[in-house]
Amino acid sequence: MHVFDKLLRIKEQKGAGYLVLIDPDKQGLERAVEIAQKCQENEVDALLVGGSLLFAYLFDELIKGIKAVCELPVIIFPGGTRQISPYADAILFLSVISGRNANQLIGEQVVAAPIIKSMNLEAISTGYMFIESGSVTSAQFLNGSLPIPREKPDMAMAHALAAEYLGMKCVYLEAGSGAKYAVPVEMIATLNRYVEIPMIIGGGIRSPEAARERVEAGASFIVTGNVLEKNPDTQLIRSFAQAVHWRQNSA
Ligand code: 1GP
């Protein structure tokens, strides 16, 4: 089964899915493998691997190391074309639709597409949207474009709808890693009324309660990174998963 279909099934069965981001620049191989193992044991649905830059050059090794101990789907969340690996199960094929930087809308994708094909990697077409979150994030800075203002849910909705009509499989609303403020609940609720494709929400989500609020507003998948990098506590991982899996846990 394709990874994207697995994700859809998770959303269907559990109400929403919980994805954990492992950023190779923020921890070494051993620590990443340890977090991956804990995720598998504590109801996480899939792992994202990637980061804004990539100082660490052992991208393949990191993914191989994770795959050796963990059966969860490993999905690349690339900050650029150097972050492609045949050892992953899929890649979010991102286009930064909130920006007007042609290179990140289609340029990098043209470079990456044949490489992805040659690796037989599943590409999940994703409309990637930066949402204002209290300060300039690394991804916004590198993209060189303004994020969508927090208090303009209609603007976010129009972008997400455009992604849907362009045939993208999902949208990813990104407040940025370590963001001061996560994507606003009202914005997610607005998109939920208009957009049918799944919504991935990430950046600045620090508590299971914050995750749950966003799922209740209509998020299909919640991503956390920093919170577990700082404290990979098994109980915390499980609390996030249970907050996100509302359907399973309200049955
Ligand atoms: C995923 O970049 C985020 O979209 C991760 O954000 O590190 O703030 O959880 P945090």
pLDDT tens sequence across 171-206: 999 999 999 999 999 999 999 999 999 999 999 999
Distance from residue 115's CA to the centre of ligand 1 (Å): 26
CB atoms within 10 A of CB 164: 17
Query: DSSP assignment, residue 131?
Result: B
pLDDT at position 98: 97
Q: Kindly state the helix (H) or strand (E) to which residue 202 belongs, with its residue range.
A: strand 199-202
CA–CA separation, 169 vs 150, rounded Å?
Answer: 24
Query: What pLDDT was estimated at residue 57?
Result: 66
Q: What pLDDT is stored for residue 52 in this prediction? A: 76
Predicted pLDDT at 24: 86
CATH homologous superfamily, domain 3-250: FMN-linked oxidoreductases (3.20.20.390)
Grouping H, G, I as helix, E, B as strand and the rest as coil, residue 60 is: helix
CA angle 101, 179, 27 (to 5 degrees): 95
- In the chain, where the domains are located: 3-250
Mutate to test the pocket of ligand 1, among 174, 183, 244 (most ligand atoms within 8 A of CB): 174
Q: Does ligand 1 come within 6 angstroms of the Cβ of 232?
A: no
Which of the residues in the chain have pLDDT under 70? 56-57, 250-251
242 within ligand 1 shell (Cβ under 6 A):
no
* Ligand 1 centroid distance, CA of 178 (Å): 6
Q: What are the backbone dihedrals phi and psi of residue 96, each rounded to the nearest 5 degrees, phi first?
A: -80, 90
Torsion of CA 19, 157, 122, 49, to 10 degrees: -30
Structure tokens, 137: 């994030």
Q: What is the pLDDT of residue 251?
A: 54
Pocket perturbation via mutation, ligand 1, pick of 224, 227, 230 by most ligand atoms within 8 A of CB: 224
Q: How far is the C-alpha of 249 from the C-alpha of 13, rounded, in Å?
A: 11
Spatial distance between the Cα atoms of 140 and 25, rounded to a whole number of angstroms: 18
Residue 25 confidence (pLDDT): 83
